[in-house]
Amino acid sequence: MDYDLPEEVAAFKDMVHRWVDAEAPKSSAREMEAQEHDYPFALWDKFTAAGFHGIGIDEAYGGQGGDVLIQMVLARELARSLGGLAWIWGITSFAGVKSIGLYGTAEQKQRFLPEIAAGRLRAAIAFTEPGGGTDVLGALRTEAVRGDGGWVLSGEKIWSSSAHVADYLLVLARTDRNVEKQHHGVSLFFVPAKQDGITITPLPKLGMRSMGSCSVAFDSVFVPDDLVLGEAGNAWKMLLPTLNNERLMVGAFCLGVIDGVLEDALDYMKQRKAFGKIIGQFQALQHYVADIAISQKQVELMLYHCAHLQSKGVDSGMESSMLKVAAADAAVAAADAGIQIMGGMGYSAETDMQRYWRDARLWKIGPITQEMARNGIAERLGLPRSF
């Protein structure tokens, strides 16, 4: 396999790189980060003007087109500066583009995809249950029961990022409890977020602060049949390809963080002086930065390999889990080494190393923990299921 980017993808990467430096520099990310729960609508609007919300959406629906590799290149370049705030683009891309684009009806695609591409619709994901974490199915208590012309939804979700500003929520709920296996009888709904019966409460957290994460309570919320995505009761099987894509996106975001860390570490090491010389001459610090560069190349190759497999329609579940684990570990280690290289300034809110560390640390927990991902890899290698 040729790992060089195709000419048009390389040109797109260069364009986004320059756009980020001009329109979303690291200094702006620090300013947004300082405003907890103050959603950066201006950043969303910049993405709209640049056409980023249309990436991955067919031109027939007003999008820019672009395969999974183009999407991952965009994710990487945004995260190089924005870190976890790149999810401002990524959440709607996943919740809307991936979900509706893959298993929405023709009417749903025509209704929603042009709105997403034009930046007029924000979506949020509401899968995780209080006390459930990675055990999405085992902890699933949110329930939808049949009503007249639709469903009545009740329950609670947590860690729904950007739910407080979302137009729609992608909600996983149980619609049948009389099933042999827990992944049966589960349905997916695209729920209007601003309606009676929905209460959204922001939650304080360590990183990605201005994006906001929320708890969402549903109290007998009516959802019409035309907002059920795919086949009712069969959502889990339907979701697996999109969850696989989410792990690629996390890998790309982690790679972008490594890119940003390496940039900042090198700049600092070339300027900062101690003991009569620039600290870039210190062997121990050279080893730190070499390790960051090594992990950057490893994650890059894994990401491109996974994108290639997915673009060919090959089952890449194990490879995408390997990517997610390796990328999250590498991003956190890189940011931690970056803090060590910069010393007190790495810990300071005036620089970006601490922001990269706080954002990347989440990716060792979600969307699936490192431990659960490793369990899945071991199972695919022929070992018995551990959970």
Query: Hey, which bits of the chain come out as E strands?
Result: 123-126, 143-147, 150-161, 168-174, 186-192, 198-203, 213-224, 228-229, 273-274, 277-278
Tell me how far apart the terminal alpha carbons of the chain are, to the nearest angstrom: 36
In this structure, is residue 2 part of a structural domain? no
- CATH number for the domain including 243? 1.20.140.10
Nearest to 294 by CA among 248, 261, 342: 261
In this structure, is residue 385 part of a structural domain? no
Mark whether 315 and 374 lie in a shared domain: yes
In this structure, is residue 107 part of a structural domain? yes
Mark whether 243 and 374 lie in a shared domain: yes
In this structure, is residue 386 part of a structural domain? no
Number of domains in the chain: 3
Mark whether 110 and 172 lie in a shared domain: no
Mark whether 115 and 148 lie in a shared domain: no
CA distance 128 to 246: 15
Mark whether 229 and 277 lie in a shared domain: no
Nearest to 317 by CA among 364, 378, 371, 369: 378
Mark whether 223 and 246 lie in a shared domain: no
Mark whether 102 and 71 lie in a shared domain: yes
Q: What is the pLDDT of residue 225?
A: 96
In this structure, is residue 387 part of a structural domain? no
Mark whether 78 and 65 lie in a shared domain: yes
Which mean pLDDT values do the consecutive 10-residue runs of the chain (387 residues) have?
A: 84 98 97 86 98 95 94 97 97 87 93 97 95 84 95 97 96 92 92 97 92 96 96 88 88 98 98 96 98 98 95 91 98 98 96 97 94 95 90
In this structure, is residue 318 part of a structural domain? yes
- CATH number for the domain including 193? 2.40.110.10
Write out the residue range of the structural domain in which residue 99 sits. Answer: 7-122
Mark whether 67 and 156 lie in a shared domain: no
Residue 115 carries which side chain, given as an amino acid letter? E
Mark whether 227 and 251 lie in a shared domain: no
Angle at which helix 68-82 crosses helix 26-33, to 10 degrees, equals 70
In this structure, is residue 174 part of a structural domain? yes
Residue where one domain finishes, among candidates 189, 216, 234? 234
Q: What is the pLDDT of residue 1?
A: 61
In this structure, is residue 257 part of a structural domain? yes
Mark whether 369 and 241 lie in a shared domain: yes
Residue where one domain finishes, among candidates 122, 156, 180? 122
This prediction has a pTM of: 0.95
Mark whether 197 and 242 lie in a shared domain: no
Residue where one domain finishes, among candidates 234, 251, 272? 234
Q: What is the pLDDT of residue 161?
A: 94
